[in-house]
Amino acid sequence: MAEVIYNDDSIKSLDWREHIRLRPGMYIGKLGDGSAYDDGIYVLVKEILDNSIDEHVMGNGRTIEIKVTDHRVEVRDFGRGIPLGKVIDCVSKINTGGKYDSGAFQKSVGLNGVGTKATNALSAYFKVQSIRDGKTKIAEFKEGILLKDHPEKPSSDRNGTYVAFEPDNNIFKNYRYIPEFLENQIWNYAYLNAGLTLNYNGQKFHSERGLFDLLTNKTDVETNRYPIIHLKDKDIEVAITHNGNYGEEYYSFVNGQYTTQGGTHLAAFREAFVKTVREFYKKDFEASDIRSAIVSAISIRVQEPVFESQTKTKLGSQNMAPDGQSLRTFVNDFVKKHLDDYLHKNPQTADALMKRILQSERERKDIAGIKKLANERAKKANLHNKKLRDCRVHLGESKDEIRFLTTLFITEGDSASGSITKARNVQTEAVFSLRGKPLNCYSLTKKIVYENEEFNLLQHALNIEDGLEGLRYNRIVISTDADVDGMHIRLLMLTFFLQFFPDLVRNGHLYILDTPLFRVRNKKETIYCYSEQEKQQAIKKLGTKPEITRFKGLGEISPDEFGQFIGDNIKLEPIILRNDTSIQKLLEYYMGKNTPDRQNFIIDNLRFEVDVVEEAHLPAEELIY
């Protein structure tokens, strides 16, 4: 083994842009291709929007214009505008910004002077323009390097800042912006800044009632157990209801930042809610029964919040409450006073909440015996069966970027699972093999999860019995054949997750694996095609008469070929729940009784399905299942 030389030459100093480009994960989390809501390209958008939002919070500007095309983002606010002499410094000089001056920006989310610089450094093109008091200043960059410093000019435009950027395709491989992710992101800004209008690609995003509107759009108001409780005071806002779903659903924010991983403020709220309910009813209910089926949102504003990472997804502050006390005390005092008052003034709501808690208590006791037996059976099965081919790295075991890539493929049958198992990355990718078609669990209670061996083993493989805190895989990928049976299994698995673990879907962990339908090749080149259109393009490109193979199932794809579809070139379609999606109505429509509406939908779309079947050379009767 060659000797490693460690001397003065081994010590390197990088400038700000070199460091960001070399270690982007430190600044924007995982890179990704845009198929996950927390991929880096969305963080780049957020970093620019945060500055515009902070201007609004400080009372400057009530409208923000946003335009996103394939690979370009443009944001225009109508705040004060960056001081013209500091335009270049603010986007290219690390630790430079107005947010170090607490008088200029109070209770801001961006305090480190890094975000805009990260977007600049990671963009193939970046342009900033400030309009301020009749003058304007423009600067253009590439990969953080100044391309053109425009001189100041007179301007009659309204004050504000304009930023345009194009993420660097060398860093974000084959990226794409998914509109639903951007819409959810922009809606959150609207909910947290009542009265602000955000115009995104011609759509208007506006909220007058803040978190009340958020919960109105996130829940099916008709099936909520009681009207949304909306509590608000200076620097804190809370909205609460319970529905008929399983688990707990929270939307938590700090200074307008969506803290997807919660933190001290959310932990304090969950604790305060349980404590207040127990004291109100004078009963020592189980905490899990009180919070089961809760849907809630909490937003707080504090000065100089401390987050656990640059991407600000989890609050770490302990003693940064507005009045100087601990966050735990601040949140507890607010919830105790306002929620207790609300329940006393609204006895019908108090009665409905009590009934929901008692229902959760009955359900918990009803499955207690089955749950214990099922857990023992699962532990025994895990020692002997071959359903789970596990990976070596799990969430929680490593804090570096690899933990974001942990994946579980859910496959049908031994042949498909065998091919994926041989082709996978054993460090980060695991495989769970289904046996036949799973049960349609629509309208069934959670008791079935423990009674059905397939569901029980899958639940244990994921480690989600008690919520997402222990989730062992960041991405759960349903991997079925591109035929009618495969589509049916896909629907049944989606029903399982939506029925019993909707928060797993809401938090962006569920995907569909997109595998090629055709292989077109000649002696020199092989092209894999995901549609009929791509197949025709490949035939035209290769010329002559290439060999064409139609993959009818995953088991027909060899392990060597599979390695090209589940590695760097993996194509995943995320399962996204829109703001106005009602899970109960969605499941009832697709998985409930065969209603006239669904029959009409099938008839209207049958021609498309027949075309696909004919192209795949499958008999039409396979459409019926």
Report the C-alpha gap between 625 and 608 in whole angstroms. 17
Q: Which residues are CB-neighbours of 50 under 8 A, at least 6 positions away?
A: 109, 110, 115, 256, 257
Does 307 have pLDDT greater than 80? Answer: no
Q: In CATH terms, is domain 211-358 a member of 3.30.230.10? A: yes
Q: Which residues are CB-neighbours of 406 under 8 A, at least 6 positions away?
A: 391, 393, 394, 395, 428, 429, 430, 472, 473, 474, 475
For residues 441-450, give the mean pLDDT.
87
What is the predicted pLDDT for the residue at 418? Answer: 81
What is the predicted pLDDT for the residue at 4? Answer: 62
Does 384 have pLDDT greater than 90? Answer: no
Q: pLDDT confidence of 622, banded at 50, 70, 90?
A: very low
Domain boundaries, the chain: 16-205, 211-358, 385-515+553-580, 518-550, 593-625
What is the predicted pLDDT for the residue at 101? Answer: 44
What is the predicted pLDDT for the residue at 621? Answer: 35
What is the predicted pLDDT for the residue at 320? Answer: 58
The larger pLDDT score, comparing residue 377 to residue 311, is at 377
Q: pLDDT confidence of 258, banded at 50, 70, 90?
A: confident
Q: pLDDT confidence of 584, banded at 50, 70, 90?
A: confident
What is the predicted pLDDT for the residue at 312? Answer: 60
Q: pLDDT confidence of 344, banded at 50, 70, 90?
A: very high
Report the C-alpha gap between 405 and 428 in whole angstroms. 6
The percentage of residues in the chain with a pLDDT greater than 90, rounded to a whole number, is 43
What is the predicted pLDDT for the residue at 447? Answer: 87
What is the predicted pLDDT for the residue at 310? Answer: 53
Asked if residue 48 lies in contact with residue 116, where contact means CB atoms within 8 angstroms, the answer is yes
Residue 100 DSSP label: G
Report the C-alpha gap between 566 and 192 in whole angstroms. 38
The string of pLDDT tens digits covering residues 38-79 is 889 999 999 999 999 989 988 899 999 999 998 999 999 999
Q: pLDDT confidence of 133, banded at 50, 70, 90?
A: very high
Max CA pair span of the chain: 82
What is the predicted pLDDT for the residue at 591? Answer: 82
Residue 106: count other Cβ atoms within 10 Å of its Cβ: 15
pTM: 0.81
The string of pLDDT tens digits covering residues 145-167 is 999 999 999 999 999 999 999 99
Q: pLDDT confidence of 8, banded at 50, 70, 90?
A: low
Q: What is the 3-state secondary structure (H, E, C) of 428-449?
A: CEEEEEECCCCCCCCCCCCHHH
Lowest mean pLDDT among 190-194, 404-408, 490-494: 404-408
Helix/strand/coil percent split, the chain, to 5: 40, 20, 40
Order of strands across the sheet that contains 236-242:
229-233, 236-242, 294-300, 249-254, 257-258
For residues 255-263, give the mean pLDDT.
82
Buried/exposed code over 199-220 (b: 16+ C-beta within 10 A; e: otherwise): bbeeeebbbeebbbbbbbebbb
The larger pLDDT score, comparing residue 130 to residue 613, is at 130
Lowest mean pLDDT among 227-231, 329-333, 579-583: 579-583
Helices 211-218 and 179-192 pack at an angle, to 10 degrees, of 140
For residues 24-49, give the mean pLDDT.
88
Which of 224-233, 384-393, 466-475, 495-504 has maximum average pLDDT?
224-233
Q: pLDDT confidence of 102, banded at 50, 70, 90?
A: very low
The percentage of residues in the chain with a pLDDT greater than 70, rounded to a whole number, is 86
For residues 325-345, give the mean pLDDT.
93
What is the predicted pLDDT for the residue at 186? Answer: 95
Which of 6-10, 90-94, 268-272, 541-545 has maximum average pLDDT?
268-272
State which fold the 16-205 domain adopts: Heat Shock Protein 90 (3.30.565)
Does 317 have pLDDT greater than 70? Answer: no
**In DSSP terms, which residues pair with 250 in a beta bridge?**
296
Structure tokens at 247: 């688990």
Mean pLDDT over the full length of the chain: 84
For residues 70-92, give the mean pLDDT.
93
Does 104 have pLDDT greater than 50? Answer: no
The larger pLDDT score, comparing residue 425 to residue 291, is at 291
Q: Would you call 499 exposed, middle or buried from its count of C-beta atoms within 10 A (0-12, 13-18, 19+)? A: buried
Q: pLDDT confidence of 13, banded at 50, 70, 90?
A: low
Q: pLDDT confidence of 232, banded at 50, 70, 90?
A: very high
The larger pLDDT score, comparing residue 129 to residue 615, is at 129
Q: In CATH terms, is domain 385-515+553-580 a member of 3.40.190.10? A: no
The larger pLDDT score, comparing residue 307 to residue 545, is at 545
Residue 461: count other Cβ atoms within 10 Å of its Cβ: 20
